[in-house]
Amino acid sequence: DNATVHILSSTEKRTSRCLQKLMEEVNKRAIRQNWSFLIQNIDIISLTDCLREDDTLTNDMCEQIEVERTTRDKIAKFLSIIMRRGPHAFDKLVQGLKKTDQTFIAEKLLQSVHNTPVQASS
């Protein structure tokens, strides 16, 4: 009946939100685990241009990145923005890395995601 359908859809929505939050945490952990590697290897100019074009980054965000003095600081600012950007930012990051010929970085991030043990919060 309708009540059962409503309960199921409500439960499915909660489960979906929980899974989404869990995946976001796994993705953030992959970035944190590879922080030094990312700082040393990302071509920040081509990547920010690519992610600005697909609206993952706003002009303001790109300006925040560009005002940093060193490349290392630019990449650190970029990563901190991506980690706060929402549930689709990690996928956009991986796509951007592939589009800008930085596939080896994308693969390392994805490998970390797949190797991260998932723990349910209590």
Q: Which CATH architecture describes the domain 25-115? A: Orthogonal Bundle (1.10)
Number of Cβ atoms within 10 Å of the Cβ of 24 = 16
Res. 2: pLDDT tops 70? no
User: What is the predicted pLDDT for the residue at 87?
Assistant: 84
pLDDT surpasses 50 at 122: no
pLDDT at 107 over 90: yes
Q: Looking at the predicted structure, is the pLDDT value of residue 35 above 50?
A: yes
DSSP codes joined into one string, 66-120: HTSSSHHHHHHHHHHHHHTS-TTHHHHHHHHHHHTT-HHHHHHHHHHHHHSPP--
- Domain residue ranges of the chain, discontinuous segments joined by +: 25-115
Q: What is the pLDDT of residues 59-97, one digit of tens each?
A: 999 999 999 999 999 999 999 999 999 889 999 999 999
